[in-house]
Structure 1
């Protein structure tokens, strides 16, 4: 786990530990099969084991770890089936979100999206993969804000945890940032034109990317995927 992680007063301790561990699992810092130690993590953050245990439960709900009684908590391999199911659910949610956003978006909100896209471009140009992924998430989070449905983001963030591992592995020749940015701009232009149909088509195509990338990524990283 990164040495730069420090607890703050901004969120409950269990949520912060969950986010730290989630990030390290998603960006492949912690590989599948790794045993996560309650004792080691509680010592690292100078907390009791209870918030660590709660973080593990939330990670299990997101499909990132498996808690085995008397054996421990292990980072799971990626399930292609879970990725496909998550993409299906996320696509349904986000298509509805952009339709609503297209009818209510303000000039200020368009500027916020455009600023985000400029930062995405800079991150891609500088090969800052983790920064790009964070900005990608921010773009989709902003859509839920524009649609006045931030609760949807909480659902999306949970179901996309396994998808995010594939996203990180695919940010090369399979799904380079530049192509994802182009797709984001298509969504942005549809919102700018206040066209719900075009916005829905654009985000539908954007999220279809996961279907095309999962097979080559699984073939390139067989040790990371479950045999299904």
Structure 2
């Protein structure tokens, strides 16, 4: 049985779009329902999504562009191993963008409604500390809410595209390698600095938070050589 067959199957109201197929396969890869090295079958995916192979193939091409899938001639299509080089690149890009987001939010403030949402998201993180997938969703919601709060259009879409490899390593580290409580404490520190209008503190807290995964990257690569490519 291939990785595609093992992935969770969700119901769609009608034939899903290429974007919906891409998003669902991407999520399965991020949370390791589809493991590095798993072979992807267009036929099985088409049956899973109730569509033809054409939109499935297009979705897979897009995931190739994100570095999550590779096509090996005469062998097939496979989930890539997590690249430490790509993780470090993603962290560099993400830090540059998210520090700018937090700086703007701190300098200009966020609406009361947005601040309430951030409080609610942190509460959800605390409630989901024992559920890595649920926690990851709440973690992303925190960062997306900050980005949306500065009303900079689709800036989070750019961050999201860059951080796919980063996200896989982050998920693999939860909760035993990277303590969830550490991440929650860091989110609270970021939000407190934004509320206080303390730009220096908010930038420092953001950089510290985004460096957390890299602290354990080499140890994870040594523990999971079949999943992680130590190409940094």
State if a TM-score over 0.5 links the two structures: yes
Q: Deviations over 1:162-204 (max 9, x none)?
A: 1111111111332111110000000010111122221111111
Q: By how many angstroms is 1:151 displaced?
A: 1.6
**Preserved CA contact (<8 Å) 1:87 1:210:** no
Question: If the length of structure 2 is used for normalisation, what is the TM-score?
Answer: 0.91
SS of the residue 1:222 aligns to: coil
Q: Is the 8 A contact 1:32 1:224 kept in 2?
A: yes
Q: Which whole-Å CA distance do the structure 1 matches of 2:201 and 2:61 have between them?
A: 39
Residue 32 (structure 2) aligns with: 28
Give the one of 20, 43, 59 matched to 1:39: 43
Query: Is residue 117 from structure 1 mapped to residue 122 from structure 2 by the alignment?
Result: yes
Match of 2:150 among 147, 151, 157: 147
Q: Counterparts of 2:49 and 2:66 in 1: how far apart (Å)?
A: 22
Once residues 47 and 200 of structure 1 are traced to their aligned partners in structure 2, the CA distance between those partners, rounded to angstroms, is 46
Show structure 1 runs of 5+ residues with no match.
Answer: none
Alignment check: 8 A CA contact 1:218 1:225 kept: yes
1:7–1:13 Cα contact (<8 Å) kept: no
How far has the Cα of 1:12 moved from its partner?
5.8
- Asked if structure 1 preserves the Cα contact closer than 8 Å seen for 2:132 and 2:175, the reply is no
Q: CA RMSD in A?
A: 1.6
Q: TM-score, normalised by structure 1?
A: 0.93
In structure 2, the CA distance between the partners of 1:111 and 1:168, relative to structure 1 (3 Å rule), is same
Structure 2: gaps of 5 or more residues: 1-5
Q: 3-state DSSP class of the match of 1:66? A: strand
The CA distance in 2 between the partners of 1:92 and 1:98, in whole Å, is 10
Of residues 74, 81, 85, the one that matches 2:85 is 81
